Amino acid sequence: MADPDLTEAHLDDRSEAPEGAVFPEGAAVNSSDEVAVLETVMRRRRSVRGFLETPVPAGTLRSIFELAQTAPSNCNVQPWRVYLASGETRDRVRAALLGVVGAAGGPVEPPRPDFDLGASFQGEYRRHQVECAVALYREIGVERGDAEGRLKAFQRNYALFDAPHVAFIGMDKSFGPSVVVDVGIYLGQLMLLLTAHGIACCPMGSLRNYPDVVRAELGVPEEIGLLVGLCFGYEDPAVPANRTRTTRAPVTDNVRFFE
């Protein structure tokens, strides 16, 4: 739903465009409807942690990933490499990942990611992180001192939250942080496309922790390092974790406007 404080004139930015401005080919003269739709999709997207077993039709998947290819990148290098597992392949990947995080009774193996992307959050960043964790654990009924409950919640990541599909997204190991930005832009565009099709998703940094397991199951080339995983499918509203809602800081906490 569009912001009620935004008038039709505000939404139609062409009315205030400078003389000689060029608009995308085929764009409508009045873009207010397009803005409203985009806003709805952006506000609807959230991380879902419980899925129905119903798979997304193959044709829908193909069209979504084809459109995601339009994401921008530095010099148009298109660095993202995506490995999408569904069906029996997804089942094998899931079982293999659960095997290294103690779900089968063994020890939890230490992470061994392709890239050192760890972060130690402090100050306001730590506050946001804790608020997110508290919101989730409150819904799934895990108390602060419940070590077994926390372990099971951790293992749910590697059970892919029962999603019927998981995409592992990476890039060439020779690339650095600037290219990670391009992959992130692609991921953001992909999530919005999924949401627009009524498909829920959850981006997961934890799925980069055991790239050798994924590489063995999906044949990921050694030169490709995994950055993130994306579980997706149709949301199961009966899963308590899906009641979780997070907040966003006011825009002035993140953006400085200068004139």
Q: What is the mean pLDDT of the chain?
A: 91
| Residues forming a β-bridge with 101 | 108
Residue found under tokens 């089968």? 104
CA angle (167, 194, 183) in 5-degree steps: 50
d(Cα 198, Cα 194) in Å, to the nearest integer? Answer: 7
* pLDDT at residue 5 is higher than 50: no
pLDDT the model gives residue 141 = 97
Note whether 68 and 10 are same-domain residues.
no
Domain that holds residue 82: 49-115+158-239
Q: How many domains does the chain have?
A: 2
Closest by Cα among 252, 238, 236, 219 to 51: 236
Q: Give the tens place of pLDDT for each residue, 10-33.
A: 334 444 455 555 555 655 545 788
pLDDT the model gives residue 81 = 98
**Is the pTM here over 0.85, yes or no?**
yes
Average pLDDT of span 100-128 = 92
pLDDT the model gives residue 25 = 62
Closest by Cα among 235, 259, 249, 258 to 44: 235
For residue 211, what pLDDT band results from cuts at 50, 70 and 90? Answer: very high
Note whether 7 and 72 are same-domain residues.
no
pLDDT the model gives residue 118 = 72
Note whether 3 and 109 are same-domain residues.
no
CATH of the domain at 83: 3.40.109.10
Q: Which helix (H) or strand (E) holds 170?
A: strand 165-172
Note whether 206 and 162 are same-domain residues.
yes
Q: Residue 190: inside a domain, yes or no?
A: yes
Average pLDDT of span 167-178 = 96
Note whether 58 and 111 are same-domain residues.
yes
**CA 181 to mean position of chain CA atoms:** 14
Q: Please state, for a pLDDT cut of 90, what percent of the chain lies above it.
A: 84
Q: Residue 247: inside a domain, yes or no?
A: no
* pLDDT at residue 214 is higher than 60: yes
DSSP letter, residue 207: G
Average pLDDT of span 63-67 = 98
Note whether 86 and 186 are same-domain residues.
yes
Average pLDDT of span 215-222 = 98
Q: Give the tens place of pLDDT for each residue, 225-258.
A: 999 999 999 999 999 999 999 999 999 999 999 9
Contact 87, 58 (CB under 8 A): no
Note whether 67 and 81 are same-domain residues.
yes
* pLDDT at residue 78 is higher than 70: yes
Note whether 69 and 35 are same-domain residues.
no
Average pLDDT of span 103-124 = 91
